[in-house]
Structure 1
Amino acid sequence: MTSLEFSFAIEQLSHSLRPFALRLTKDAEDANDLLQETALKAIVHQAKFAEGTNLKAWMYTIMKNTFITNYQRLVRRNTFIDTTENLHYLNAPSQVTENLAYGAFTMDDINKAFSEVDDTYKVPFLMYFRGFKYHEIAEQLAIPIGTVKNRIHIARKELKARLQSYRKG
């Protein structure tokens, strides 16, 4: 694929990427920036795109990873570390400490709900949760990658149903 064809394909995909960018950023201007940054990264890294693979999926992955990187950068930038000798902020009455019992009850409920999930779905879900990639899970369990994705999806769905009481709104 020539650079011109590649650029044209990216331009055509921008219309389907925009709703995803809006869902991620929750702001039209930020979505436009994310879309532009995604297109730029795709063009710069055109050589890394394997001909014959799904360009749309590749672009979605670039967008998701760009959003995550930007979000982490924003969080680090907004983190305030007090290095002064004065402990005024630590002892200010506006600081509230929550009772950790709520967290313990929540963890108990999560563990109970998770123990009720069938091992067929639990094992791939746990591996994914621990950071394994889909293809690594598929290799380890000797099952197709589509089956791995399906089992993880079912485990999430079951956990969501069992933990319905924690749903907000």
Structure 2
Amino acid sequence: MTAIEFTNQVQTLSYSLKPVALNLTRDLDDAKDLIQETLVKALQNKEKFKAGTNLKAWLYTIMRNSFINNYNKITKRSTTLDNTDQITFLNTDDRFVAQNNAVSSFALNDINQAIEHLNDEYRKPFMMYYTGYKYLEIAEHLQIPIGTVKNRIHIARKELKDKLRVYNPVV
């Protein structure tokens, strides 16, 4: 396999790496960085690829190993040693710091406001479903067909999703 053929195949397969990278990193920017690092390593080490083997699997292996290595670097960097009588490791990574309740309080207020602004015909079935009623029970209580109940709950969810779009992660 020539260098140009190898590069073309790697480029073609690069699009299939994104879902796996997102699954590993859980962040779009980190996933893009991981894909880029994977492609750079693959192109730098093309002589290590054995023609006739699965190139896609080889790229996935490079990506997984890169992710693990980066994770280990971050973990080692954020771990400090306590010099007390009993030696213990303290993890000081910012991802594990407890947050105050202000953010969740704002979110809860926004959610409650969005629910209050729903049309009454959508809010009632939605709140009944949210509190644990079954579709059939809601239909009997409101004296409407079960299909209407399902439709109204679906529309309420859709409206809430639109109103609370700022809380959706970008993926």
Q: Of the two, which has the highest radius of gyration?
A: 2
- Return the TM-score normalized by structure 2: 0.48
- Return the TM-score normalized by structure 1: 0.48
Looking at secondary structure, tell me which structure has more strand per residue: 2
